[in-house]
């Protein structure tokens, strides 16, 4: 037994955890049990600092529940107490006790863990409980209690045990959910998929005050800079019922891109008008991001720094190295934008990951003992010549602006004979499939890896199957195999023999209720980098 009172069951998959046959707990016994099994923050005494006045407040779970960062033995459980989410949250400036329960079943008759933690004003009354001692590869249900109220029930799943040999892993990845641009119908379909985990690759919120044309205008109505404003923006996004359902259905592994802070930011700036203001804004944005995501304590921001790159293993099947391509990048080459003839982008001293993250990633790849090495990250890794006809033009915000970083990564693949690297990308609001080539400009150059880029959930509105950008890039870049500019997500099925990506798209998002269909499916075969279209 571990300190949570749960059996530490880390061997083998799908083992049944021993548990007391507890009936549905009434509030009194729930709190009594919580007091006995204090865990959340390692507290060992009662709560002398707790106030009870919050009990008279309204329902605090307006933002739903979430779980994330699954390990073989546990997950993070998240909620935020916000009876008045769009008006500063609505909690008094006090610490409030929050109870939590984890059960094998939705009726909570098979409890495997429970405890109490406190939510306080410092982190916007957000709650991050790191539950451990769970069985690997297993489904659980969880809920919270506070202010005399019970939260919605969330469902989550732990990762398979280290060394386990899963037959398959099912996941989806998504990105870019501009609230004012469309409904989150994609999530209504995503929750129906048989997934183990969801990856979100950035642009969870947008920072400007756009009002759009469908009655989902941003709150606050202006561009956000302060912590209070970022909180309101997250609360608005998080109040969407489809998004809440998607968080409640699966554990999520998240990484931010630029709009969680500011469009096309990188490092500590410049090019910003006032760098000091930008850094204060970055700190506010990171704190609000932490407060609203199911992240572990390791990701609690310290001023302008936040630990976001991290790895997850799913038995011997896959390692996911989640990247942070914003925080440590050197400044944009040639002042950002799309450029022809910018030699600065080739400077070998440029980095998109920073030295530490690069070392971490390259070590993980070199020492990987899983079949697949997957890089969930933000921006297009493949070369993308954007100029029609003669000559070339590249986007400085992408890996094309950091060519030396890309080359160093590709060198690691070659040196270590790594065949099964698959990159998952957000940012572009389009679906793409790209072969990653040692030399993109040489048709005979070997393919070293595969990149699947997923479209947006709602950003850029309805979209269309193709457009002039897609036609141009497909023509100019033979390693780009597919383009689509509609909304949706990418469903993936991973087995020892094959990585399969199904591009799930919706015909519209500016009104609700759109159906979903698979626009195209690609596979990567074990040992053979590069994508093959199968439908």
Candidates 63-71, 87-95, 452-460, 527-535 — which segment interacts with Fe ion by CB under 5 A?
A: 452-460
Smallest distance from Fe ion to CB 79, Å? 26
Smallest distance from Fe ion to CB 269, Å? 20
Q: Which is nearer to Fe ion, 110 or 459 (CB)?
A: 459
Q: Which is nearer to Fe ion, 203 or 502 (CB)?
A: 203
| By CB under 5 A, residue 473 contacts Fe ion | no
CA 431 to CA 506: how far, in whole Å? Answer: 12
Q: Which is nearer to Fe ion, 200 or 328 (CB)?
A: 200
Smallest distance from Fe ion to CB 55, Å? 41
DSSP run (H or E) holding 253: strand 252-254
**Residue 27: C-alpha distances to residues 45, 55, 146, 193, 516 (Å):** 20, 13, 10, 34, 41
Smallest distance from Fe ion to CB 184, Å? 14
Q: Which is nearer to Fe ion, 113 or 202 (CB)?
A: 202
Contact by Cβ (8 Å): 242, 188: yes
Q: Which is nearer to Fe ion, 38 or 379 (CB)?
A: 379
Long-range contacts of 388-393 (CB under 8 A, 24+ apart): 388/472, 388/475, 388/476, 391/340, 392/340, 393/338, 393/339, 393/340
Smallest distance from Fe ion to CB 208, Å? 12
Smallest distance from Fe ion to CB 459, Å? 5
| By CB under 5 A, residue 435 contacts Fe ion | no
| By CB under 5 A, residue 260 contacts Fe ion | no
| By CB under 5 A, residue 459 contacts Fe ion | yes
DSSP string, 124-191: TTEEEEEE-SPPTT-EEEEEEEETTEEPPPEEEEPPPPTT---S-EEEEEE----GGG---HHHHHHT
The first and second tokens of residue 94, run together, are 């006090």
Q: Which is nearer to Fe ion, 260 or 476 (CB)?
A: 260
Q: Which is nearer to Fe ion, 77 or 186 (CB)?
A: 186
Contact by Cβ (8 Å): 118, 96: yes
Candidates 79-87, 92-100, 176-184, 210-218 — which segment interacts with Fe ion by CB under 5 A?
A: 176-184
Q: Which is nearer to Fe ion, 197 or 453 (CB)?
A: 453
Give 227's contacts (C-beta < 8 A, 6+ positions apart): 284, 287, 288
Residues 281-310 that bind Fe ion (CB under 5 A): none
Smallest distance from Fe ion to CB 519, Å? 19
CA 335 to CA 262: how far, in whole Å? Answer: 16
Q: Which is nearer to Fe ion, 228 or 336 (CB)?
A: 336
Q: Which is nearer to Fe ion, 33 or 216 (CB)?
A: 216
Candidates 71-79, 97-105, 440-448, 457-465 — which segment interacts with Fe ion by CB under 5 A?
A: 457-465
Smallest distance from Fe ion to CB 465, Å? 20
Size, binding site for Fe ion by CB under 5 A: 3
Residue whose structure tokens are 């969880």? 142
| By CB under 5 A, residue 203 contacts Fe ion | yes
Smallest distance from Fe ion to CB 429, Å? 6
| By CB under 5 A, residue 176 contacts Fe ion | yes
CA 264 to CA 282: how far, in whole Å? Answer: 12
Q: Which is nearer to Fe ion, 252 or 499 (CB)?
A: 252
Q: Which is nearer to Fe ion, 38 or 176 (CB)?
A: 176
Candidates 172-180, 337-345, 413-421, 520-528 — which segment interacts with Fe ion by CB under 5 A?
A: 172-180
Q: Is 512 left (phi over 0), alpha (psi -120 to 50) or beta?
A: beta
Three-class SS state of 490:
strand
Smallest distance from Fe ion to CB 275, Å? 24
Query: Among 377, 405, 415, 410, which residue's Cα sits nearest to residue 479?
Result: 410
Query: Among 336, 338, 207, which residue's Cα sits nearest to residue 271?
Result: 336
Smallest distance from Fe ion to CB 40, Å? 34
The first and second tokens of residue 351, run together, are 């980095």
Three-class SS state of 249:
helix
Candidates 134-142, 238-246, 442-450, 454-462 — which segment interacts with Fe ion by CB under 5 A?
A: 454-462
CA 334 to CA 345: how far, in whole Å? Answer: 8
Smallest distance from Fe ion to CB 321, Å? 22
SS3 per residue for 61-106: CCCCEEEEEEECCEEEEEEECCCECCCCECCCCCCEEEEEEEECCC
Candidates 169-177, 414-422, 481-489, 510-518 — which segment interacts with Fe ion by CB under 5 A?
A: 169-177
Candidates 197-205, 320-328, 398-406, 409-417 — which segment interacts with Fe ion by CB under 5 A?
A: 197-205
Residue whose structure tokens are 């009104």? 511
Residues that bind Fe ion (CB under 5 A): 176, 203, 459
């Amino acid at each position: 037994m571990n300190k949570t009172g749960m059996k530490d069951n880390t061997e083998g998959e799908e083992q049944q955890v021993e548990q007391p046959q507890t009936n549905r707990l009434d509030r009194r016994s729930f709190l009594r049990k919580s007091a006995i099994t204090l865990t959340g923050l390692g507290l060992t005494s009662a709560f002398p600092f707790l106030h009870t006045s919050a009990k008279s407040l309204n329902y605090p779970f307006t933002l739903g529940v979430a779980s994330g960062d699954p390990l073989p033995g546990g997950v993070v459980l998240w909620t935020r107490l916000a009876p008045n989410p769009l008006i500063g949250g609505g909690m008094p400036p006090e610490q409030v006790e929050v109870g939590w329960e984890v059960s094998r079943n939705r009726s909570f008759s098979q409890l495997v863990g429970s405890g109490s933690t406190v939510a306080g004003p410092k982190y916007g009354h957000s709650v991050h409980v790191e539950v451990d001692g769970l069985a690997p590869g297993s489904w659980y249900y969880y809920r919270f209690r506070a202010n005399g109220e019970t939260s919605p029930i969330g469902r989550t799943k732990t990762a398979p045990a280290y060394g386990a040999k899963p037959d398959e892993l099912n996941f989806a990845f998504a990105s870019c959910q501009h609230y004012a641009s469309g409904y989150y119908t994609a999530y209504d379909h995503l929750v129906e998929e048989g997934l183990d985990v969801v990856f979100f690759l950035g642009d969870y919120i947008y920072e400007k005050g756009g009002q759009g044309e469908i009655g989902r205008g941003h709150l606050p109505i202006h561009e956000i800079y302060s912590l209070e404003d970022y909180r309101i923006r997250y609360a608005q996004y998080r109040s969407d019922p489809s998004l809440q359902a998607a968080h409640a259905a699966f554990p999520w592994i998240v990484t931010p891109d630029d709009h969680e802070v500011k469009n096309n930011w990188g490092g500590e700036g410049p090019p910003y008008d006032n760098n000091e203001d930008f850094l204060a804004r970055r700190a506010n944005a990171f704190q609000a991001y932490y407060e609203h995501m199911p992240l572990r304590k390791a990701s609690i921001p310290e001023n302008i720094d936040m630990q976001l790159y991290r790895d997850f293993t799913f038995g011997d099947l896959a390692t996911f190295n989640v990247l942070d391509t914003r925080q440590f990048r050197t400044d944009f080459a040639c002042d950002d934008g799309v450029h022809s003839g910018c030699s600065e982008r080739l400077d070998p001293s440029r980095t998109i990951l920073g030295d530490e993250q690069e070392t971490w990633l390259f070590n993980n790849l070199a020492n990987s003992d899983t079949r697949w090495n997957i890089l969930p990250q933000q921006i297009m890794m493949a070369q993308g010549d954007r100029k029609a006809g003669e000559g070339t033009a590249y986007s400085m915000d992408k890996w094309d602006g950091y060519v030396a970083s890309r080359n160093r990564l590709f060198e690691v693949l070659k040196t270590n004979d790594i065949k099964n690297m698959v990159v998952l990308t957000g940012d572009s609001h389009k679906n793409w499939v790209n072969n990653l080539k040692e030399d993109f400009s040489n048709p005979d150059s070997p393919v070293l890896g595969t990149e699947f880029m997923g479209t947006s959930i709602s950003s850029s509105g309805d979209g269309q199957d193709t457009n002039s950008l897609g036609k141009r890039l497909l023509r100019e870049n033979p390693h780009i195999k597919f383009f689509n500019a509609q909304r949706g997500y990418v469903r993936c099925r991973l087995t020892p023999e094959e990585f399969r990506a199904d591009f799930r798209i919706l015909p519209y998002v500016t009104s609700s209720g759109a159906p979903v269909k698979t626009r195209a499916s690609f596979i990567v075969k074990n040992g053979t980098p590069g994508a093959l279209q199968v439908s």
